[in-house]
Chain A
Amino acid sequence: MTARDPLVTALWEADRHLTTLESALQDWHAAPASNLVELETDSERLRILDQLLFRFSKLQDALGLRLIPATLAVLSEPFEEWPMIDRLNRLEKLGFIEVDDWLRWREIRSRLAHEYPDHPETRFAAIEAAVAAARDLAVAYRAWRAKLKP
């Protein structure tokens, strides 16, 4: 097995999530909700949002679990013993990712999994921040992919 095999698998997996994520982003932006009531009373918008946030999480998983190690392996980096933060820092130096962005997306994603006692306006602002993060993640992954395959 060469270093490229895990990379091919990682890209295949991430691409599947990217396709659905971008389609959900397009649907969301075609008719974005402007407050929580508008969102929660519209099952179609809720369905789009669920799909969007699910794929945001899955794309993060695909990058974190597969693409990060596969990219470092292809570049012959001795990453096996490195903690996650060192892997991220190395990839930032190599121009693949911004660590601050990545950590912000991680936080947004972990927040999605829990109910927080926020006011409705704050909950809606958090949803909008998550949609923006999903869009940024999609853009970042496309750039990463382009850099891997010049």
Chain B
Amino acid sequence: MAATRFRHRRMRLTSKDIAAIDQAARETFAPRSTVRLFGSRLDDARRGGDIDLLVETRAPLTPQELVERRNRFIARLYRLLGERRIDVLIVPAGRPDDRQVIQAARRDVRLLTTVPE
């Protein structure tokens, strides 16, 4: 059914949520970084839950950069959306990562935004 597909496409994020994620990503990450949704918000049958985001950057970040960007990105989202439970994983694109949560996130994600050049 069309309505069901539409709900799937929205992934239980509002258009305001997605616009905020796009804006915060542009303000935080380098061009061509991608932001994908994973976790419970992909599941239409569930309610609420954390917003789990997987950010893939073109170049790897140092641990200090990673912590600083993640902090800035989520703080921007707090400003745009109010305080919510938001979890952000940041990994370099195309590199293997043996952490289970990263492997699961990479398998089951929907692209939300790509930071433009």
CA–CA, A106 to B83, complex, Å? 9
Whether the pair B100, A100 counts as a contact (CB closer than 8 A) is no
Q: With A85-B82, A103-B79, A104-B72 in contact, do A125 and B87 touch (Cβ < 8 Å)? A: no
Taking chain A's interface residues, is the majority helix, strand, or loop, or is none over half, making it mixed?
Answer: helix
Q: What residues on A are CB-neighbors of B75 within 8 Å?
A: 100, 103-104, 106-107
Q: What residues on A are CB-neighbors of B87 within 8 Å?
A: 114, 116
**Chain B: interface residue total (CB-CB under 8 A):** 22
Whether the pair A103, B78 counts as a contact (CB closer than 8 A) is yes
Per-residue B-contact encoding for A86-110, CB less than 8 Å = 1, 0 else: 0000000000000110011011101
CA–CA, A121 to B62, complex, Å? 9
Tell me if B4 is interfacial: C-beta within 8 Å of chain A.
no
Tell me if B63 is interfacial: C-beta within 8 Å of chain A.
yes
Q: What residues on A are CB-neighbors of B100 within 8 Å?
A: 117
Partner of A126, one of B67, B78, B89, B102: B67
Q: What residues on B are CB-neighbors of A144 within 8 Å?
A: none
Taking chain B's interface residues, is the majority helix, strand, or loop, or is none over half, making it mixed?
Answer: helix
Whether the pair B63, A100 counts as a contact (CB closer than 8 A) is no
For window 66-117 of B, CB contacts with A under 8 Å fall at 66-68, 71-72, 74-76, 78-79, 82-83, 85, 87, 89, 99-102
For window 108-133 of A, CB contacts with B under 8 Å fall at 108, 110, 114, 116-117, 119, 121-122, 124-126, 128-129
Pairs A-B, 9 closest by C-beta atoms: A125-B63, A103-B75, A121-B63, A104-B75, A125-B67, A103-B78, A107-B74, A122-B63, A117-B101
Interface residues of B (CB under 8 A from A): 62-64, 66-68, 71-72, 74-76, 78-79, 82-83, 85, 87, 89, 99-102
Can you list 28 A-B contacts with CB-CB less than 8 angstroms, sorted by A residue number?
A84-B83, A85-B79, A85-B82, A99-B79, A100-B79, A103-B75, A103-B78, A103-B83, A104-B71, A104-B75, A107-B71, A108-B71, A110-B83, A116-B87, A117-B99, A117-B100, A117-B101, A117-B102, A119-B63, A121-B63, A122-B66, A122-B67, A125-B62, A125-B63, A125-B64, A125-B67, A129-B67, A129-B71
Interface residues of A (CB under 8 A from B): 83-85, 99-100, 103-104, 106-108, 110, 114, 116-117, 119, 121-122, 124-126, 128-129
| Contacts beyond the supplied A117-B89, A119-B63, A129-B67: 10 A-B pairs with Cβ under 8 Å | A84-B83, A100-B79, A107-B78, A110-B85, A121-B63, A122-B66, A125-B62, A125-B63, A128-B67, A129-B68
